[in-house]
Amino acid sequence: MKFKAHFLPSKLNTFLYGVFLFYFVWASFYPADYSYTLLYILGIIGAILLLSDLYAALSHRKLEVEFVEKSARKYKGEEGVMTFKITQHGLLPIVGAALDIYASDYIIFAGDKKKRSASRTHKRLLFSVMPKRSIHVSAKYIAIERGVSKVFGSTLSYSNLFGFNQIVLQQKSIDSTEVIVYPEVKVSKFKPFRLRNVEGNYRKQNALFQDKILKVASKDYVRTDQLRDIHWKESARLGALRTNVYEQVTDLEVLIIVNLRSDKSYVAVEYIEEIYEKIAYISYQLTRDKIPYQLISNVKHIHLNDYLHVPIGSGANHYKRTLEFLARLKSIDFTVPFDHLVRSVPNLNHVPSHLIFTGPTDHKINTALFELQKRQISVYQLDKYELVEFGRSGGAR
């Protein structure tokens, strides 16, 4: 980080300057009125003031403060440590310094008594660093809310070793670190659901994929079966290991579309955080079952005519990108009508076999969703309470 220096002179330092200049001018006109002792004291005061100015000007020239970690990823409630490396490349020591850090309030530093009205958290770190040496200082924090917390400002202050003034360095560079707080993975309390509305359209005897959510039967366990496919309840009831048999499908891709608009305004629904938590859980289940999925929101890029999205994929890294995507979503971003996003689904490079959408619907959204069902796409709605099949029991809510 680069800093801009500010000097806070003390009253005593200003007084010494005044005394020195006054007697120096007086001695220039009336040299006979002064003894050598007074001139000696005057010289000492002048030397101290000179050293004070040199220290203030040079002590921070080669001082370097940098973030050890450029980014960190945490779940809500997890603790973390933000570490700074401070190096003095110069020849002047810095003693009794304080580094004040300010970050957005998705995290809270340990010991910070943050008020509810404050939108930032603060931490002061004390340190001393000798010439040609490096030290590390750390600040503990707790992730308290989904989002991306960045250090948006820092101030470094220390006393002048040869004077009485205070040296204050304010961060002027854009170098920062960020803490990405993932949404909590909240288990959704929904019953097992059938993903295929029209039975047989996607069934095949020699298919490459299995629908892990749709169990059709069970069979005797063989050594090649995976342990996670064992039907434990039936095995206990029959006294022998039984393995689940899943529906064979030719294609299985899930699309999750996130609506950041409520039915009455441009802002997101009040329970949007719970929606994020349930999406995190569903994404985890899809990742565990090796089902490819993609995620799209009705938020558009500022400079690109494209929706914010996570491309289709699977695996642990893809799940990590999904959590980061959910952490960065903001309800105040520029959104487009949700029915526009729904109507664009058939134009995607990967048309999904299953669609999960969030939030309430209206007539336009319902019409667009029914059009997708006509294309044999299974549609489900994720609301505040559960995941339900769209069109059942009166349709969406």
Structural contact between residues 299 and 335, judged by C-beta atoms closer than 8 angstroms? yes
Residues in the chain: 397
175 in the same domain as 50: yes
269 in the same domain as 289: yes
218 in the same domain as 176: no
Domain membership of residue 187 (yes or no) is: no
304 in the same domain as 377: yes
Residue 84 has pLDDT above 80, yes or no: yes
In this prediction, residue 8 carries a pLDDT of 60
In this prediction, residue 203 carries a pLDDT of 39
Q: What are the pLDDT digits (tens) for 336-373?
A: 888 999 999 988 888 888 899 988 888 999 999 999 99
CATH of the domain at 105: 2.60.40.10
CA 290, CA 229: separation in Å to the nearest integer?
Answer: 13
CA 197, CA 253: separation in Å to the nearest integer?
Answer: 15
CA 144, CA 139: separation in Å to the nearest integer?
Answer: 16
Segment 74-93 shows an average pLDDT of 93
Domain membership of residue 227 (yes or no) is: yes
- Three-class DSSP category at 31: helix
358 in the same domain as 225: no
Angle formed by the axes of helices 272-288 and 316-328, nearest 10°: 170
Dihedral of the alpha carbons of 216, 217, 223, 227, in degrees to the nearest 10: 60
73 in the same domain as 57: yes
13 in the same domain as 35: yes
CATH of the domain at 275: 3.40.50.410
In this prediction, residue 142 carries a pLDDT of 94
60 in the same domain as 98: yes
In this prediction, residue 74 carries a pLDDT of 94
Domain membership of residue 134 (yes or no) is: yes
Question: Rounded to 5 degrees, what are φ and ψ at 363?
Answer: -60, -40
Q: Which of 306, 363, 365 is nearest to 340 (CA)?
A: 365
- Three-class DSSP category at 112: coil
Residue 197 has pLDDT above 50, yes or no: no
Q: Which of 248, 263, 291 is the last residue of a domain?
A: 248
pLDDT category of residue 206 using cuts at 50, 70 and 90: very low
117 in the same domain as 85: yes
CA 214, CA 207: separation in Å to the nearest integer?
Answer: 15
Residue 390 has pLDDT above 90, yes or no: no
Name the least confident of 11-15, 56-60, 183-187, 261-265. Answer: 261-265
In this prediction, residue 247 carries a pLDDT of 62
Residue 195 has pLDDT above 50, yes or no: no
Q: What percent of the chain has pLDDT over 90?
A: 31
Question: Rounded to 5 degrees, what are φ and ψ at 57?
Answer: -85, -30
Dihedral of the alpha carbons of 284, 288, 290, 292, in degrees to the nearest 10: 0
Across the chain, mean pLDDT equals 81
In this prediction, residue 136 carries a pLDDT of 96
Cα–Cα distances (Å) from 376 to 89, 197, 222, 352, 373, in that order, read: 67, 8, 35, 10, 5
137 in the same domain as 2: yes
CA 119, CA 182: separation in Å to the nearest integer?
Answer: 19
Domain membership of residue 190 (yes or no) is: no
pLDDT category of residue 194 using cuts at 50, 70 and 90: very low
Residue type, 351: V
Q: Tell me which residue range forms the domain holding 222.
A: 214-248
208 Rama sector, left if φ>0, alpha if ψ -120 to 50, beta otherwise:
alpha
235 in the same domain as 338: no
Domain membership of residue 200 (yes or no) is: no
Domain membership of residue 226 (yes or no) is: yes
Domain membership of residue 11 (yes or no) is: yes
350 in the same domain as 278: yes
Domain membership of residue 195 (yes or no) is: no
Domain tally for the chain? 3
